[in-house]
């Protein structure tokens, strides 16, 4: 079962941010279309990109996430498939792989398969933008005594609230970060109504590994940023953004 199927109903409650949208909108305005988003989730970026007039295709593995994206309406062309081998049937001027969808590829072979597929689906001169979280060494080291439960977020709901807690363990050998997420949904008078646990695994990828993989997949790296304002990438950056072209 795709990892995101069991938590698709929570995705839009958890991830309400849109600080990254102006960056992708500006890129879509600058580059030729059409646009593809690889690993599009519920269309957090794809739907507003399409709403501003761009011709957008969204590729997503989880049928539940696709279903929620489709419910939002708009002109997004949804493709249920795996970004390693999905064939949307056309080529794009701009490809976006944002908010850690790339890190869901849990081996270098999977990452390369995606990059090669993404390249195949770009027109000559087309641009691929990848954005992932940049983790500091502190975030990847267990505290003394072992992994600890962390409070990640609280989201107010019309009839209560959603809390998320997590425990993470990082294996430096495989670069896999395994997260167990605990969701608690409270009703209007603070009564716990439901809870569930969910496991997610991502593969932490640093700047130079990502650049090397992009070169192996025959991309020409054009820019590396550490934030959505085009800041330089440093050891203090929270984000790693790479833009690369199909030559
Ligand atoms: C953290 S979400 C990001 C979604 C979206 N890019 C956003 O910005 O909100 C990662 C998404 O990538 C999808 N994904 C993971 N592996 C995938 C794969 N091999 N093929 C297609 N989608 C995948 C997941 O199902 C999930 O919806």
CATH number at residue 72: 3.40.50.150
pLDDT value, residue 62 = 98
Give 161's Cβ-side CA count (13 Å radius).
9
Q: Are residue 152 and residue 37 in the same domain, yes or no?
A: no
pLDDT of residue 142: 84
Q: Determine which residue's CA is closest to atom 16 belonging to ligand 1.
A: 104
Q: Are 112 and 223 part of one and the same domain? A: yes
Distance 189 CA to ligand 1 centre (A): 34
H/E segment holding residue 154? strand 150-157
pLDDT at 146: 87
CB of residue 62 inside a 6 A radius of ligand 1: yes
Same-domain status, 24 and 81: yes
Q: Are 161 and 44 in a shared domain?
A: no
Neighbours of 3 (CB within 10 A): 15
Last residue in a domain, options 173, 188, 203: 203
Shared-domain flag, residues 23 and 118: yes
Residue 90 half-sphere exposure toward CB, CA atoms < 13 A:
15
> Are 236 and 162 members of one domain?
no
**Predicted pLDDT at 48:** 98
Contacts of 169-174 spanning 24+ positions with Cβ under 8 A: 169/142, 170/140, 170/141, 170/142, 170/204, 172/140, 174/203
Task: Quote the pLDDT of residue 59.
Answer: 98
Q: Locate the ligand 1 atom nearest the alpha carbon of residue 99 and give its number.
A: 8
If asked whether residues 170 and 127 sit together in one domain, one would say no
Confidence of residue 167 (pLDDT cuts 50, 70, 90): very high
pTM beyond 0.95, yes or no: yes
Q: What is the strand order of the sheet 219-225 is part of?
A: 77-80, 56-60, 35-38, 92-97, 122-133, 239-246, 219-225
The C-alpha atoms of residue 201 and residue 193 are separated, in whole angstroms, by 27
CA 4 to ligand 1 centroid distance, Å? 8
Cis peptide before 34 (omega within 30 of 0): yes
pLDDT digits (tens, 9 = 90+) for 20-68: 999 999 999 999 999 999 999 999 999 999 999 999 999 999 999 999 9
Q: What is the mean pLDDT of residues 106-134?
A: 98
Task: Report the pLDDT value the prediction gives residue 150, as an integer from 0 to 100.
Answer: 95
Question: Does residue 232 share a domain with residue 189?
Answer: no
**Quick check: helix, strand or coil at residue 102?**
helix
The answer to whether residues 228 and 22 touch, using CB atoms and an 8 Å cutoff, is yes
Nearest-angstrom CA–CA distance, 240 and 83:
20
pLDDT in tens, 184-224: 999 999 999 999 999 999 999 999 999 999 999 999 999 99
Q: Say if residue 58 is in the same domain as residue 173.
A: no
User: Does ligand 1 lie within 6 Å of residue 24's CB atom?
Assistant: no
Q: Which residue range forms the structural domain that includes residue 173?
A: 137-203
Domain tally for the chain?
Answer: 2
In a shared domain, residues 195 and 81: no
Share of the chain above pLDDT 70, in %: 100
For residue 45 and ligand 1, the question of a CB distance below 6 A is answered with: yes
Alpha-carbon distance of 200 to 77, in angstroms, equals 27
* Mean pLDDT value across the chain: 97
Q: What is the pLDDT of residue 143?
A: 82
CB-ligand 1 contact for 84 (6 Å cutoff): yes
Give me Rg for the CA atoms of the chain.
18
Predicted pLDDT at 19: 98
Q: Is 131 in the pocket of ligand 1 (CB under 6 A)?
A: no
pLDDT (average), residues 228-247:
97
137 confidence band (pLDDT: 50, 70, 90):
confident
pLDDT given for residue 247 in this prediction: 86
The reply to whether 130 and 143 lie within a common domain is no
Q: How many Cα neighbours within 13 Å face the side chain of 22?
A: 5
Residue 47: which of 11, 75, 6 has the closest Cα? 75
Per DSSP, the three-state class of 172 is: coil
Tell me which of 104, 112, 152 to substitute to probe ligand 1's pocket, judged by most ligand atoms within 8 Å of the beta carbon: 104
Q: Ligand 1: does its nearest atom lie under 6 Å from the Cβ of 219?
A: no
Going by the DSSP 8-state scheme, the letter that residue 108 receives in this structure is: H
């Amino acid at each position: 079962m795709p990892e995101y199927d069991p938590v698709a109903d929570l995705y839009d409650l958890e991830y309400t941010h849109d600080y990254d949208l102006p960056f992708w909108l500006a890129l879509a305005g600058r580059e030729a279309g059409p646009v593809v988003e690889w690993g599009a989730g519920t269309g957090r970026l794809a739907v507003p990109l399409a709403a501003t007039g761009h011709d957008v295709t969204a590729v997503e593995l989880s049928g539940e996430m696709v279903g929620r994206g489709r419910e939002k309406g708009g002109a997004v062309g949804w493709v249920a498939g795996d970004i390693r081998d999905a064939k949307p049937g056309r080529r794009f001027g701009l490809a976006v792989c944002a908010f850690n969808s790339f890190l869901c590829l849990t081996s270098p072979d999977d990452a390369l398969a995606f990059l090669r597929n993404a390249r195949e689906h770009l027109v000559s001169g087309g641009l691929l933008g990848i954005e992932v979280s940049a983790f500091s060494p502190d975030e990847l080291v267990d505290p003394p005594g072992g992994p600890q439960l962390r409070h990640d977020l609280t989201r107010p709901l019309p009839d209560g609230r959603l809390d998320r807690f997590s425990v993470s363990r990082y294996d430096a050998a495989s670069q896999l970060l395994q997260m167990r997420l605990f969701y608690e949904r409270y009703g209007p008078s603070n009564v716990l109504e439901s809870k569930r646990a969910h496991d997610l695994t991502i593969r932490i990828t640093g700047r130079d590994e990502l650049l090397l993989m992009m070169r192996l997949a025959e991309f020409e790296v054009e820019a590396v940023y550490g934030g959505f304002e085009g800041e330089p990438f440093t050891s203090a950056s929270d984000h790693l953004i790479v833009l690369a072209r199909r030559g």
